[in-house]
């Protein structure tokens, strides 16, 4: 592990313990070169996932990219960081438990939208506007209309709901 201060390769683990939600291992490290102390988090990865983009391009799954996009949607919203972390960990576990090594960007987007819908409506609309590539105000009003409709009314309009 490289030291973030001096870039040295000689770091030692001084303490290691699981995080509160048991999704990672927290390690306190010290650099032998400069004496700098820092923390790393290591996560268990069940399988290597490849994301198939809409263009057909294949890229390695990046948990940090998923976390950043969720954090952008939740920016300035009253949601605790721990809840966000649990949500992202849950999405990653769902993807890994699919049993496939390749997942589509659409599958990931749908899982994120489902999770955000249960956490914060504003974040859900923000994420959906980018994910679904909204172009007009009408796109927003249709999505917001879906959020505010009563489930019994939805069944009357569409019995498959």
Residues 128-157 have pLDDT tens digits of: 878 776 677 777 677 777 766 555 544 444
The C-alpha atoms of residue 2 and residue 52 are separated, in whole angstroms, by 31
What SS3 class is residue 29? strand
Residues 42-51 have pLDDT tens digits of: 876 556 899 9
151: number of CA atoms within 13 Å, CB side? 0
Question: What pLDDT score does 144 carry?
Answer: 73
Q: Which residue has the tokens 């576990």?
A: 93
Mean predicted confidence (pLDDT) in 110-136:
83
Of the candidates 113, 156, 153, the residue with the CA atom closest to the CA atom of residue 131: 113
Cα-only R_g, the chain: 20
Question: What pLDDT score does 152 carry?
Answer: 53
Q: Which residue has the tokens 């960990």?
A: 89
Q: Which two tokens stand for residue 98?
A: 């699919």
């Amino acid at each position: 592990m490289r030291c973030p201060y001096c870039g040295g390769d000689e770091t030692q683990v001084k303490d290691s313990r699981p995080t509160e939600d048991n999704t990672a291992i927290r390690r306190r490290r010290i650099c032998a070169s400069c004496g700098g102390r820092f923390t790393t988090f290591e996560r268990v990865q069940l399988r290597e996932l490849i994301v198939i983009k809409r263009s057909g391009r294949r890229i390695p799954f990046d948990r940090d990219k998923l976390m950043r996009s969720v954090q952008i949607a939740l920016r300035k919203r009253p949601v605790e960081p721990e809840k966000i972390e649990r949500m992202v960990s849950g999405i990653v576990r769902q993807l890994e438990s699919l049993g496939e090594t390749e997942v589509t960007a659409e599958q990931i987007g749908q899982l994120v939208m489902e999770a955000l819908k249960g956490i914060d409506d504003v974040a859900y609309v923000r994420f959906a506007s980018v994910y679904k590539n909204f172009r007009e105000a009408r796109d927003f009003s249709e999505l917001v209309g879906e959020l505010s409709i009563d489930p019994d009314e939805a069944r009357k309009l569409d019995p498959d709901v």
